Structure 1
Amino acid sequence: MEPLLVTRALVAGYGPRPILHGVACEVRPGELWAVLGPNGTGKSTLLRAVLGLGPWTRGEVRLLGRERAAWEPRALARKVAWVPQTIESTEGFSGLELVLMGRSPHLGLWGLPSAADVALAREVMTELGIAHLSERPAEALSGGERRMLMLARGLVQQPELLLLDEPTAFLDVAHQVGSLDRVRARVDAGLGAVAVLHDVNLAAAFATHVLLLRDGQVLAQGPANEVLERGSLETLYGLPMETALAPSGARLFAPRAPSR
């Protein structure tokens, strides 16, 4: 199956010293990759480098079979959706209007959403449990509510590849699980997705594949059930880990508390 995203020998950074060092990965339809690693190791930089947003790069980035530089921005936005870590200014818009921004790459000359666009936006908001935010002004939204609306905006875009930078930040446990569950449902239907996460247990529960980054280099990558094991996580985070198997069969991970 043709990869949706390919990086080879990717080097990226914001100055003379690179943050990423020779990162290589491939993401295919039906795969949800979780990117895990310590703070400052280059997880967000990887996604931004893939999109050409800021950091200088060397190496190769291919999106849906074409060099990234060969894509016209609007055409790429019809295929690739981006849910950033930092939420841009949203004042002056309602919740529904924010979600409808995801339809922009698909709109015609006048840029006006159709009844079908509005219906799709409302459908996704209902699916995510945020239909009640449709008419709420952005100024009255919490950080978690804005995060859910940004996810809805990305899903409404109907991409082939979805890139998510810390999509569960500011969310309570129920919304963390609910949002990743809806992403995983689309992955199972053929979407490709990459999500920067900090919670190892969420990665174990929802990701098909995992990329472990430490000091800007790939420590390990591959199927989640192979990569997520105590030894690799102890190396990744530099602390002892405990593992357990839940009655459901789910694998659980936790840092070992220091002895007192």
Structure 2
Amino acid sequence: MIMEIKDIICGYGNRKVVNGISITVESGEVLCLLGPNGVGKTTLFKSLLGFLKVKGGNVMIDGEDISKWPRKKIAQAVGYVPQAHNSSFEFKVLDVVVMGRAAYIGAMSSPSKKDVEIAEESLRALGIYFLKDRIYTEISGGERQMVLLARALTQQPKILIMDEPTSNLDYGNQVRLLQQVNELAKKGLAIIMTTHSPDHAFLCSSKVALLERNNKFKVGSVNDIVTERNLREAYGVKVSIVKTIGSNGEEISTCVPLLN
């Protein structure tokens, strides 16, 4: 499956937030979306998900313009993991994950045995099946983020959009979530994720898109886009890209900020 973003323009009212961006993401690829606050990353996501009507350009999936799709069809093709989710209702974790089947269940119907089995398999795949009977509001922030990922996988999408999925996680949970991103890409999902850490692009991206102020935009391979010059221009800080050799002999790159 291929998602093509063609010269997309999106924003609010008469204000254009994103103007003329084009990106292609295919099955098995991870696109890491970088950029400072306020450049339109979340606005772009809302447009890709159909929550916000695009002002120009097209969002295509396998050659079809999704603006002509019903919302249920979009939900069956594209899964979404938000930055955070606060629920005031004391649902069990399994119930939250089963909600990912909403796109397949009629308005007056209840989840079937198959729907529950798919939700349980998502929990197993992420190694959090032990949480299934816990109350969602009583588990940790890192566990909630993994539950939201399980809910998105329960939609059985071909494309997964993740809005800063590591923003509220400790270091260990960040690493574990990025490992899951890599595993899901190996299984054929096309993944688009935003992050405020350029290091995450080195860890799991097939390609990187860098949004800057004044609608500047770059897209390409990780090594072409995540450079000292590009990061300095985008974020206004000095950064050094340091390369080292990992335990398996592979080259590893990391970003080191240079404080004044």
Give the alignment's TM-score, normalised by structure 1.
Answer: 0.90
For residues 50 and 103 of structure 2, the distance between their equivalents in structure 1, rounded to whole angstroms, comes to: 18
Quote how far apart the aligned CAs of 1:110 are: 5.8
Contact 1:31 1:192 in 2 (8 A): yes
Q: Which residue of 2 aligns with 1:192?
A: 190
Q: Which residue of 2 aligns with 1:237?
A: 235
Q: Deviations over 1:35-86 (max 9, x none)?
A: 0000111111111111221365222221232112221111221111111234
For residues 107 and 58 of structure 2, the distance between their equivalents in structure 1, rounded to whole angstroms, comes to: 34
For residues 138 and 190 of structure 1, the distance between their equivalents in structure 2, rounded to whole angstroms, comes to: 29
For residues 115 and 65 of structure 2, the distance between their equivalents in structure 1, rounded to whole angstroms, comes to: 30
Q: Which residue of 1 aligns with 2:245?
A: 247
Quote how far apart the aligned CAs of 1:141 are: 3.2
For residues 155 and 165 of structure 1, the distance between their equivalents in structure 2, rounded to whole angstroms, comes to: 15
Contact 2:8 2:54 in 1 (8 A): no
Aligned length: 256
For residues 124 and 148 of structure 2, the distance between their equivalents in structure 1, rounded to whole angstroms, comes to: 14
Q: State the secondary structure of the residue aligned to 1:78.
A: helix
Q: Which amino acid aligns with 2:142?
A: G
Contact 2:87 2:137 in 1 (8 A): no
Quote how far apart the aligned CAs of 1:224 are: 1.6
Contact 1:20 1:216 in 2 (8 A): no
Instruction: Summarize the alignment of residues 211-226 of structure 1 with structure 2, pairs less than 5 Å apart.
Output: 211-215=209-213, 217-226=215-224
Contact 1:128 1:179 in 2 (8 A): no
**Paired residue for 1:228, among 220, 226, 231?**
226
Contact 2:49 2:74 in 1 (8 A): no
Quote how far apart the aligned CAs of 1:176 are: 1.3
Give the alignment's TM-score, normalised by structure 2.
Answer: 0.90
**Paired residue for 1:31, among 20, 25, 29?**
29
Instruction: Summarize the alignment of residues 194-213 of structure 1 with structure 2, pairs less than 5 Å apart.
Output: 194-213=192-211
For residues 59 and 222 of structure 2, the distance between their equivalents in structure 1, rounded to whole angstroms, comes to: 23
Contact 1:143 1:170 in 2 (8 A): yes
Q: Which residue of 1 aligns with 2:7?
A: 9
Q: Which amino acid aligns with 1:256?
A: L
Q: State the secondary structure of the residue aligned to 1:198.
A: coil
Change beyond 3 A, Cα 1:32–1:125: same
Q: Is the aligned partner of 1:182 residue 2:180? A: yes
Runs of 4+ residues deviating >4 angstroms: none
Contact 2:78 2:159 in 1 (8 A): yes
Instruction: Summarize the alignment of residues 60-139 of structure 1 with structure 2, pairs less than 5 Å apart.
Output: 60-87=58-85, 89=87, 91-107=89-105, 111-139=109-137
Q: State the secondary structure of the residue aligned to 2:15.
A: coil
Quote how far apart the aligned CAs of 1:121 are: 2.3
Quote how far apart the aligned CAs of 1:131 are: 2.6
Which structure 1 residue ranges, 5 or more long, are not aligned?
none
**Paired residue for 2:42, among 41, 44, 47?**
44
For residues 223 and 21 of structure 1, the distance between their equivalents in structure 2, rounded to whole angstroms, comes to: 22
